[in-house]
Structure 1
Amino acid sequence: MEAWNGGISFLGCSVFVSVSVLMILCGVAMAGFQNVGKVSPGFGGTQMNWIDKDGKFLVSNDSNFAFGFITMSSDVTLFLLGIVHVGIRTVVWSANWESPVSNSDKFSFNESGDVVLYKSGTVVWSTGTGNKGVSAMELQDSGNLVLVRSDGGTVWQSFSHPSDTLLSNQEFTEGMKLVGIGVKNLSYALEIKSGDILLSAGYRTPQPYWSMGKDTRKIVNKDGRQVSSAKLEANSWGFYDKNKNLLWEFIFSSNTDPNATWIAVLGQDGTVSFTNLPSTGSGSVVTSPTKIPSATIRFD
């Protein structure tokens, strides 16, 4: 049983029973248990329910990733709903980065299979998976949050809805967008367009400032074809056509460990950096000196 942290009225309860029995008799809301691997529909709560777990209510089986409420560094009274790498507390995915919530706002994985986040009673984010046969929500060892059917089929996954980070073996396809927010609220976007992968600054008319097609550091396997997807694999970023033929490779590290977990992050300066995430309790963070673009871009 979780430890009680206080702050709840006991009015009307017997003072002659143990604290654990007192909680049961009074219906006191206890700090929530932290689930491992998956949860079922009918699950929910607020950040306060898991305050003793730093707001995280679901961890992956290998304990490397956790899902739940994340305290914003700019305002400790506001929270994102997202996934963090436990070892270095790095946010790798966020559902509501444009609309943070308070510690009393509710997260719900309801009986219909929809996952919903409320702010002052209003929906600010949802997976839109109600009545689609969802039987469980899983946080995989890859860092992917997945809603599955009873037959194991995927209904929704966070890998298909990235925020500012890509993880190893996360397929990035045409129609997806990586978004970073820089100084003065200037936004940056990474996306696949016109058969190439581009970085653009978010002016009224987006301003492209880098493309993989023009980056001379890439290795060309096959040229003259359209890029439709990309994936981080070991120490390289691979770019593929619609038939999954490897067109280009961008090697960002000399570490060739196939089991390394790398992330590509679109930062506040508009550059993409690459970091190797250690397993929980072992190793250290390694950030590659290689960045995209290779030179700092100035936006006046």
Structure 2
Amino acid sequence: MEKLFIKALHALTKSIRDMKDHYPSANPKQPTNVMVYLLQQLETFVSTIIGSVTIGGRRWFLPKMENRLVSSIVAATNDETVTTDRVKKLVRKLQAILLDCLDVISVVCMFVTRSGCMYRCFMQGDIKSSNIFSDMLATNPSWSRIVKRIVRKQKNIRVTIAESHLNTPTECIILIQYLYQLLKALDLNIISVEIALARRAMGSRKVKLGAGQRFQNMNDKVWFLQKTMQKTLGVPVTVTRVEKLEEYHNITLQNKHFTLKILTTDGISYWWRGRIAKKIPEVDKLKKTPLLDMDLKNIATSVKGHKGIGYVVWYSPKGNTGADLPDNFSV
């Protein structure tokens, strides 16, 4: 990483010298001021990559960030020849120069592991249950690479889950398959699973579209979920019944290094209807083969006001005091 920054610094100073040669100022001190100011901006410049729209593209800045940086440079130079358009061209040129010198994903990961990150994604189509986690990550490939990179050497984790619905065996299996795929994709060693299973959810809808054989009672639901998850993951699973969830449905991975949460409004399984050859899977078949591949129909897209099934991925390093979810957080 240090070598990459040195290469980037050399590229930056060369571009500034080129600017001096092509745009001389009447003020003999002015070129020095510009150079000093832009050098001081290097760390800020790299930090702002985290607030990007597209990581790894030629344009990293959000328009608001770009305008703020350009305005700051124009004000700092205090020279009428240093116009907004001229500085904007320079900033975009520097972005392209740094792109050729830096592994952008590595730079972002370096800052993320210190300060945390959060991003949203939406799934809008029908999928195979064997691809549910990978298809979710595929909605934003750059952030998928970041999530995998920041947890790759911190393998031993505990899992806690907050869920409420899971009213059919199929919904339980979707949750189990999702968690199984998550652990495999991130190459993590799971120690244990603790599930808070509520009768009611925070702000839950009363009616769900979809079909499937429902559990007769809460005892059947707890038994099925616990036994099939233990069989699939090979670790202890504890299910605790609670009356109502006090937080969003989530899957939380945690160890001494980090916390990684996947949050949804209604739970991992709520908006999916599982089928095999257009038939709802039988309970006995699901018990025997929890990783049975199913066609999952996205029923959220048929509900007015829903643009898909929303997920939030939230990462916080240990000791990051500023990484709590905001009070007005929503999925």
Which structure carries more strand by proportion?
A: 1
Same-fold call, TM cutoff 0.5: no
Which structure carries more helix by proportion?
A: 2
Which structure ranks higher in relative contact order (CA pairs < 8 Å, sequence separation ≥ 6)?
Answer: 2
* TM-score, length-scaled by structure 1: 0.26
* TM-score, length-scaled by structure 2: 0.24
The structure whose Rg is larger is: 2
